Amino acid sequence: MREYQDYDALGLAQLIQTGETTPSALLEAAIARCEAVNPALNAVIVPLYEQARSLARQPPSQAPFAGVPFLLKDLLAALQGAPLANGCRALKGWVPDYDSELVRRFKAAGVVIFGKTNTPEFGLLGYTEPEAWGPTRNPWSLAHSPGGSSGGAAAAVAAGIVPMAHGGDGGGSIRIPASNCGLFGLKPSRGRIPLGPDFGEVWAGAVQEGVVSRSVRDTAAMLDCIAGPEQGAPYVIAGPATTFAHAASQPPPRLRIGAVLSTPDTPMHADCRTAVETTMSLLHELGHDVKEVTLPYDHAQLLDCYLTMYYGETATDLRWLARHLGRPLRRGDVELETWILGRMGEQLRAADFSAAKRDWNLLARTMGRFHQQYDLLLTPTLAAPPTRIGELKTPPMQRAALSAIATLGGIGLLRKAIHEQACINFARMPYTQLANLTGQPAMSVPLHWNAAGLPIGVQFVAATNREDCLLSLACQLEAARPWAHRRPVLA
């Protein structure tokens, strides 16, 4: 057998089916790789080796990913008998006695789950540096962040621990780390992936679950395994005409693509602009019709909508945490920023949230009109290259001031300070939240590396229910500009 890292997930499954290797052998290779690189990365925070070894000894099924090592993100995904902390110190030690519906579907796909990956507290941030577990580092440069909130998952895949891992996306949390780690990341359409039994929707419908992977075909095949509504789902959308895997294998028609090279409120780093420009050239070579367009929506309005939801949902998370713990929350139960975001959410009125949700729907209508003229919207995934560890964290002096304000009151000052910090952070990642609010599918494709050797992803956004269009184009781009041979520093 060639090197474990040379294969994508479907390739490893094929080796098992042909008898060239066994699930146990692959699991031991994955564990060995994890033990070798994870001390430097801090990507896997909950090892589940013995449970996985027991599972790997069972005869493999005929499932598409039977026997393939796999990692769960430590957020939302309940795995019976395994801790689920959601990045929060107060939840350390909670062990669900059930599987979530998504985990049941992952298991039915045949994967062998052998660990859980790091995530920011409650998945709130675009970088993965929770106080409960410490920062996850980017395999391409240990001084840099893999992004978030699926930062642990992306770092593990990029470092060759697994070829594919679970992630979730409420504001770019699959696409941001995919971009930072040189991976493929798809956020499915709203309603595509189940969130039960604990949730009908998460973040008012902004969150969708999925995977980060090294190959497009792995994402497409896993989407076939996990997609589809469950009983009581609040959103039900049509499935693909055939399968997502089949769609990925078909060349796309000539596509009309609108490309964004500037935004009115956010400066675009030269590396990110270059990534879009080189992608535009490649798309022209492949026969697509690509034109530069202005951002087809009001970015300031989008940010206001998103922050209203963000504050309100954090307050709801903290209410849930108090009920779960069976006592009032103490300040030390959660991180300062989480506590303050919750305070912000508690100040919102029902009318504020309702008005923001109406604006979400207007954004969706705006994008619906855009897609009457263009099949896809092309942007950088991020407005800047990967940030350094700690770069986006609140500075110590500001943290002290925020803590004092939160303790003494002064909600007006608190709102102003938090909004300013949020705008600074969102200026680095302004393009991903759109698809979460509108419910559209979107993907980050690793087509560019900058002079420092850091990955720079580009994002494509499609009309709702058009994952097939994204996957077909992604496979064409993957064939034209392969990325799987690129290996980070730790490889």
How many Å apart are CA 401 and CA 416, to the nearest integer? Answer: 12
Tokens representing 68 are: 């393939």
How many Å apart are CA 163 and CA 333, to the nearest integer? Answer: 35
If you average pLDDT over residues 142-171, what whole number do you get?
A: 98
- Of residues 141, 150, 173, 215, which has the active-site annotation? 173
The CA-to-CA distance between both ends of the chain, in Å, stands at 18
∠ CA(155), CA(77), CA(380), 5° rounding?
Answer: 45
Split at pLDDT 50, 70, 90, the class of 154 is: very high
- Is 73 noted as a catalytic residue in this protein? yes
- According to the model, what pLDDT value does residue 349 have? 94
Shortest CA distance to 162 belongs to which of 96, 214, 240, 124? Answer: 214
Q: What are phi and psi of 315, to 5 degrees?
A: -60, -40
Question: Beta strand pairing status for 112-117 and 69-73?
Answer: parallel
Residue 379's DSSP bridge partners are 459
Residue 436 in contact with residue 170, Cβ under 8 Å?
A: yes
pLDDT 10s digits, 279-335: 999 999 999 999 999 999 988 889 999 999 999 999 999 999 999 999 999 989 999
Total number of residues shown for the chain: 491
Query: In sequence order, what are the residues at sequence separation of 6 or more whose Cβ sits closer than 8 angstroms to the Cβ of residue 369?
Result: none
Task: Tell me the percentage of the chain whose pLDDT exceeds 90.
Answer: 85
How many Å apart are CA 9 and CA 64, to the nearest integer? Answer: 9
Q: What are phi and psi of 462, to 5 degrees?
A: -115, 170
- According to the model, what pLDDT value does residue 491 have? 54
If you average pLDDT over residues 409-426, what whole number do you get?
A: 73
Tokens representing 357 are: 């949700």
Residue 112's DSSP bridge partners are 69
Count helices and strands (H / E) in the chain: 16, 11
How many Å apart are CA 466 and CA 223, to the nearest integer? Answer: 13
For residue 1, pLDDT beyond 50? no
How many Å apart are CA 180 and CA 383, to the nearest integer? Answer: 12
- According to the model, what pLDDT value does residue 407 have? 67
- Is 149 noted as a catalytic residue in this protein? yes
For residue 477, pLDDT beyond 60? yes
- Of residues 149, 150, 189, 444, which has the active-site annotation? 149
Q: Which helix (H) or strand (E) holds 260?
A: none
For residue 435, pLDDT beyond 50? yes
For residue 66, pLDDT beyond 60? yes
pLDDT 10s digits, 332-381: 999 998 998 998 899 899 999 999 999 999 999 999 999 999 999 999 99
Residue 138 in contact with residue 127, Cβ under 8 Å?
A: no
Residue 94 in contact with residue 52, Cβ under 8 Å?
A: no
For residue 427, pLDDT beyond 90? no
Task: Tell me the percentage of the chain whose pLDDT exceeds 70.
Answer: 97
Q: Residue with structure tokens 């479907």?
A: 10
Split at pLDDT 50, 70, 90, the class of 397 is: low
For residue 74, pLDDT beyond 80? yes
If you average pLDDT over residues 144-155, what whole number do you get?
A: 98
Which of 33-37, 182-186, 261-265, 448-452 is the least confident region? 261-265
Split at pLDDT 50, 70, 90, the class of 411 is: low
DSSP 44: E
If you average pLDDT over residues 207-213, what whole number do you get?
A: 98
Question: What's the whole-number average pLDDT of the chain?
Answer: 94
